[in-house]
Amino acid sequence: MDVTASALSPRRLTRQISVGSVKVGGNAPISIQSMTTTKTADVEGTLQQIYALAAAGADIVRCTCNEQAAAEGLAQIVPRSPVPIVADIHFHVEMALAALEAGVQGLRLNPGNLRKPEEIKLVASEARDRGVPIRIGVNAGSLHPDIYERFGGATPEALVESARIELAYFEEVGFSDVKISVKASSVATMIAAYRLASETFEHPLHLGVTEAGPLPGGLLKGTAGIATLLAEGIGDTLRYSLTADPVEEARAGRQLLEALGLRERKGLDLIACPSCGRAEVDVIKVATEAQAALSELNLPIQVAVMGCVVNGPGEARHADLGIAAGKKRGHLFIQGQIVRVVPEDEMVAALVDEAKKIAAEGIAARLLARDESAEAEAEADRALLLDAKGLDVNHSSERIERIRHRTEG
């Protein structure tokens, strides 16, 4: 785990459950979830999407089970899936029982839609006997009318009360393999609801801002809610709910956990300066091209694209690899040490080439293979840039003399 995780609040210890081979809660890694958008009866199309989600970082995938054809599709999908499958159940108890027959590794029940206590307890009993966990998936948009009226709306207290009532039905039949979500489209409501849930339940919590919307706004809302709670030590599994290709949900979840140091990096982390007047190249263009080229390599590496040779290598010395732009050429550096100077039009290609070599040989070996003349060339470029741009851009020496004249005279 990345050292940045130590800056977060200690994670709340919850009861651990198993969704197939994936542990959720306790000290298990925070897992990433998404949901297919295909018709579950379309077995091949759904499996294709599941494999794409798994490749993007999803640990668990949910599929709708809203009709008999979907349940029959699940029976074929589950044994061929690379990750555990959770069946999404809304209104029909028969579909929950059919999904269990299909062999799913988890169920999601919406207590606002499946309301009859005897049906809820029947599903819990069947899940208990099969060792299949259930997520109590409370949603602010589908609260039971009685709860909505009692609390005067979809308040955090109302969301948690809905989960508590559902959990009580489960406990009546001795079922405790449960995780809980209390989602809302309002980020503030969602955060408050999960904070209350973390004080109320010992079960693992599934984080998410529901109906967050399309990119980029949906991504911002999802991150605002999920990251806030993770930083407070709340949450055991998560899903971004985006109006987009679900692969974007899995990718966002993976990147968020890596950024917080809660999961080991498995893919590219590209950092880039926002550019400024010192930049000698189009930083946005170079960074975009580098992102596209390096993403295809799928290497767990941090790469920096900096627009200035004066400060770039030092500011990004923590990066595994980087390029800093000078006058018509770039300084290629590894962990802040210049290893090569390359022409401007070869900067992206040089990054890709060096990334491959780092993956094959390691950083230490690549530092030993550096061009011995590179640092001297880089220093000359820096000196020229400082001379051309002016180091004392604020004329601070003259200002200091005037200040001294004012204060000492």
User: Does the pLDDT at position 4 exceed 60?
Assistant: no
- Lowest mean pLDDT across 134-148, 277-291, 358-372: 277-291
Mean pLDDT value of segment 98-124: 96
More confident residue, 381 or 198: 198
Task: Specify the pLDDT at position 361.
Answer: 95
More confident residue, 334 or 326: 334
What percentage of residues in the chain have a pLDDT greater than 70? 93
Mean pLDDT (whole number) for 374-380: 85
This prediction has a pTM of: 0.84
Domains recognised in the chain with CATH numbers: 3-259 (3.20.20.20), 269-389 (3.30.413.10)
Of 91, 82, 89, give the one whose Cα is nearest residue 63: 89
Q: Which percentage of the chain shows pLDDT scores above 90? A: 75
Asked if residue 388 has pLDDT above 70, the reply is no
Q: What average pLDDT does range 328-332 have in this prediction?
A: 87
pLDDT on residue 409 = 60
- Tell me: cis bond preceding 216? Omega within 30 of 0 counts: yes
Strand partners, 35: 62
4 or 45, which is more confident: 45
Tokens of 349: 């290609």
Task: Report residue 400 CA to chain centroid gap.
Answer: 48
d(CA 78, CA 352): 38
pLDDT in tens, 21-39: 999 999 999 999 999 999 9
- pLDDT the model gives residue 405: 78
Digit-coded pLDDT (tens) for 177-231: 999 999 999 999 999 999 999 999 999 999 999 999 999 999 999 999 999 999 9
Looking at residue 273, its pLDDT comes to: 83
Residue-wise pLDDT for 237-285, tens only, equals 999 999 999 999 999 999 999 999 999 988 889 988 877 766 667 888 8
Predicted local distance difference test score (pLDDT) of residue 280: 67
Closest-CA residue to 107 (of 79, 130, 81): 130
Model confidence band, residue 397 (pLDDT cutoffs 50, 70, 90):
low
329 CA to centre of own chain: 35
Q: How confident is the model at residue 91 (pLDDT cuts 50, 70, 90)?
A: confident
- Band the pLDDT of 6: cuts 50, 70, 90: low
Query: Could you write out the three-class secondary structure of the chain?
Result: CCHHHHHCCCCCCCCCEEECCEEECCCCCCEEEEECCCCCCCHHHHHHHHHHHHHHCCCEEEEECCCHHHHHHHHHHHHHCCCCEEEEECCCHHHHHHHHHHCCCEEEECCCCCCCHHHHHHHHHHHHHHCCCEEEEEEHHHCCHHHHHHHCCCCHHHHHHHHHHHHHHHHHCCCCCEEEEEECCCHHHHHHHHHHHHHHCCCCEEECCCCCECCCHHHHHHHHHHHHHHHCCCCCEEECCECCCHHHHHHHHHHHHHHCCCCCCCCCEEEECCCCCCCCCCHHHHHHHHHHHHHCCCCCCEEEEECCCCCHHHHCCCCCEEEEECCCEEEEEECCEEEEEEEHHHHHHHHHHHHHHHHHHCHHHHHHCCCCCHHHHHHHHHHHHHHHHCCCCCCHHHHHHHHHHHHHC
Stretch among 38-52, 187-201, 294-308 having the lowest mean pLDDT: 294-308
Check whether 393 has a pLDDT greater than 70.
Answer: no
Whether the predicted pLDDT of 408 surpasses 80: no
pLDDT score of 87: 98
Q: Is the pLDDT of residue 391 over 50?
A: no
Q: What is the per-residue pLDDT for 266?
A: 83
Mean pLDDT, the chain, as a whole number? 91
